[in-house]
Amino acid sequence: MTTEETSNTATETNDVLLREVDAAAFLGWAVKTLQNKRVTGNGPRFIKLGTSPRAAVRYRMSSLIRFRDQFEVGSTAEHAIRAAQASA
């Protein structure tokens, strides 16, 4: 398998659309937490499948990974600094 083929496979895998329950499980959250963060704009990017207010919602795996990775820290001190900056 070439590097390009490997890259394409990884991209395709990361762009799988997940239901709310699966996205919440990936993040370690309750579905309600994911829904609340979607409403407030504090969660991962999502796709609304249709124009109805009750249209199905899906999450790209790549968006979930990107969202999760923004919280990666190297120490508890770094986490404390980020938390202080976020609340300022």
Per-residue model confidence as pLDDT tens for the chain (88 residues):
555 554 555 556 778 999 999 999 999 999 999 999 999 999 999 999 999 999 999 999 999 999 999 999 999 999 999 889 888 8
- Tell how strand 56-60 and strand 17-18 pair up: antiparallel
pTM of structure? 0.77
Predicted local confidence at residue 11, as pLDDT: 57
Q: Which residues contact 17 (CB under 8 A, 6 or more apart)?
A: 47, 58, 59, 60, 61
